[in-house]
Amino acid sequence: MKYKPTAYRGHFLLVFTLVVVVLGIVKCVNPQLALPQLAPVAEAPVRPAAPQVLDSVQLHAQAVDSLLLRPHTLPVLLRPDGRPVKNRVVSVHRFEEAFPDLNDVQLATAQRLGIQPIENRDEARHRLKELVYVGDSPFYTIQPLHQSIPYLVPRAATLLQVIGRAFTDSLVTKGYEPHKLIVTSVLRTNEDVNRLRNVNRNASENSCHRFGTTFDISYNRFLEIHDDGTDEVRWVTVFKSILAEVLEDQRLMGTCYVKYEVHQSCFHITAR
């Protein structure tokens, strides 16, 4: 007897065919559905980085930043009755006692806040991004340099600017004509230090000047600026006392170390 398909079997085959076609279309549209799904891999917990522990020098430097970057207050030039202000010169008790910070004290800070020492001038040209150029400004001038180059780390350059501006303000409020400070030494390479020690045995082999944090300011020579734009180096004794007042203020605020250099006729200053 021949097999005869029934209507029920025909409907079943039609539905089955439609299902296969639909599944085929879905697979073509989204092939990822046909791949086995893997369980997500649990990510390792991210541990927070350990906080950086700052030493005492770095903590002090953070406090100094706020002092050096605070807005400048203009000096008061007139009294309430209209008369010009003329403050008296106070100076310091003794220069050696007011500015006793020896090289070892300054060196510890210079090594923490400064750059790695530079071997020679050729290497210096490739590391200028770490430093700030300190050319002449309205408040100071850089004398011709033979044993150093006019660069400092940013905090020391800012300190130099603050000292120069404070000195100018002090001159004006004491009734003196403006004069610029004269910077006598800035950044020294190792080669500069060795060359200097050949002519000056008192020069330190571990000079703070190698770290870009230190500069020297003359205390017996100052640059007078004339109205016609010319300038003249002058030896003004009282200006040494006025500069000492400014440096003592900065030292007591904690922005710098200062050493009174008798033989070099300068104040040796390291930014903190």
- Residue 43 lies inside a defined structural domain of this protein: no
Query: For residue 95, is it within any domain?
Result: yes
Range of the domain at 114: 91-271
CB 94 within 8 A of CB 106: no
Q: Are strands 231-234 and 140-142 parallel, antiparallel or unpaired?
A: unpaired
d(CA 70, CA 129): 25
In a domain, 31, yes or no: no
Q: C-alpha dihedral over 218, 143, 108, 68, to 10 degrees? A: 80
Is 82 a domain residue? no
Residue 203 lies inside a defined structural domain of this protein: yes
51, part of any domain: no
Is 174 a domain residue?
A: yes
Q: Identify the pLDDT of residue 29.
A: 63
User: In angstroms, what CA-CA distances link 120 with 6, 20, 114?
Assistant: 103, 81, 17
pLDDT of residue 5: 53
In a domain, 143, yes or no: yes
Q: pLDDT tens, position by position, for the chain (272 residues)?
A: 554 555 556 666 676 777 767 676 766 666 665 555 545 555 666 676 666 778 889 899 999 988 898 898 989 988 999 899 999 999 999 999 999 999 999 999 999 999 999 999 999 999 999 999 999 999 999 999 999 999 999 999 999 999 999 999 999 999 999 999 999 999 999 999 999 988 876 678 899 999 999 999 999 999 999 988 899 999 999 999 999 999 999 999 999 999 999 999 999 999 99
- Give the number of domains in the chain: 1
pTM of the model: 0.79
pLDDT of residue 25: 73
